[in-house]
Chains A and B, each alone.
Chain A
């Protein structure tokens, strides 16, 4: 029974040019010597990673398993972080939210406090994949996978999220912006993993927004993503702004030129035109099947402008409430 199935796959590989002949038999790729571990505390996970250099942590594995099936080397041990309570907990103390790095984005989207404080970040979280993927995808995985097109990192960055990282040297806290350093590359050291994110409650008259362009309405990867966060003063002028773009450079790019153009001005007219121009200019995109360089550049400007407008409108609606 098993043998006949393998044969049929082999025949398919020969007769269908879409299957490369060197492509491993996917059915058996996950059935080798990989071990599974599910530590229940951060310390236990750190020890495990310390004793087994070829171990990989995962939260939802929605990126990792497809990568292994596509030929990425298998780790010796798959370390499931979801049994560690801290990794899946959302809490708030004082004016700081703490969100476990493996918390499913479905839970984040259902969290009223987060949705009210960070509407753009929560929208970005909800854009990842299908309902099935939402059950497993997480901020920690999205950031540590370090895809330039990931949806949540720009919003984490404009909200000044901090990542708490555990490793053999103890715990350290860094800006979320410092985690990804290139496509698939992070600043995480050997044996380190993201435990949780910290986010400060936004000040008064502050809100964020995230917009993404994909060629269809669901289930695709960003051609361009744009996150904006805007703080307005009592006169409706911008007193603080943060703009970050996805999928237009090897890492998320901030757009200081656009931020500077907004400060002291109403988020309209010339200021928005300057945002658009600065965002386009800040990009360094690639040509691929999802979009050309010129297209991505132009769309980055448009999305940045629109994200600023939406964030500003939300900030106005918030009025004086803190």
Chain B
């Protein structure tokens, strides 16, 4: 079966990969491109562990077919840090102990960044609603929410 050739931009760099027509963007990122930050939690769009941003839209990469990425700009958790400098959200997650097992963390970071890009000064309620599409079974969310609020402050300060 012939594979689909996809040319796109991933985390600012030109990228190309081969994928199957029915392969998800999540599987292509992990298995074809080698970016394993995005995780498969549920595979049905409920948990948000596979969150990436494509053409400015936060989405679940498990619900996107990989050929849709043709010509698109994709941002994953791997693109958040600048070299060795962590993104303030990543730094605040570490300082706030906003992770335990870590499977949900890349999705939370990508979704939180999308939230702060859109709304730099969210209330706690806005953070909780904004991250409702991301499930964490370890932390109870409180440390995540506080870390996002701390990062918002740091980013605006």
Complex interface: chain A residues within 8 A of B46 (CB)? 219
Measured CB to CB, the closest approach of chain B to A18, in angstroms, equals 12
Residues of chain A lying within 8 A (CB to CB) of residue B51: 132
Nearest A residue to B62 via CB reads A65
Residues of chain B within 8 A (CB-CB) of A133 are 45, 60, 133
The answer to whether the Cβ of A30 comes within 8 Å of any Cβ in the partner chain is yes
Segment 210-233 of A: residues with Cβ below 8 Å from B: 217-219
A78 contacts B64, CB within 8 Å? no
> Is A237 interfacial (CB-CB < 8 Å)?
no
A36 touches B129 (CB 8 A): no
Does residue B89 face the partner (Cβ distance < 8 Å to A)? no
Among B1, B43, B65, B133, point to the contact of A132 (Cβ < 8 A). B133
Contacting residues, chain B, for A65 (C-beta < 8 A): 24, 44-45, 62-63
A257-298 Cβ-contact flags toward B at 8 Å (1 or 0): 000000000000000000000000000000000000000000
Of all chain A residues, the one with the shortest Cβ separation from B66 is A36
Q: What is the 8 Å Cβ interface bit string for chain B, positions 49-70, against chain A (1 contact, 0 not)?
A: 0010000011110111101101
Nearest CB on B from A136, distance (A): 6
Which single residue of chain B is at the shortest CB-CB distance from A37? B21
Write the nearest CB–CB distance from A3 to chain B, whole angstroms.
Answer: 13
Shortest Cβ gap from B74 to chain A (Å)? 13
Q: Is the CB of A30 within 8 A of B45?
A: no
Given contacts A36-B21, A135-B58, A217-B129, 14 further A-B contacts (CB under 8 A): A30-B27, A33-B1, A34-B20, A36-B68, A65-B24, A66-B43, A66-B45, A66-B63, A70-B44, A78-B65, A130-B134, A131-B133, A132-B45, A135-B57
B interface list, Cβ under 8 A from A? 1, 4, 20-24, 27, 40, 43-46, 48, 51, 57-60, 62-65, 67-68, 70, 111, 114-115, 129-130, 132-134
Interface positions of A (Cβ within 8 A of B): 26-27, 30-36, 38, 60-62, 65-66, 69-70, 74, 77-78, 80, 82, 104, 106, 129-133, 135-136, 217-219
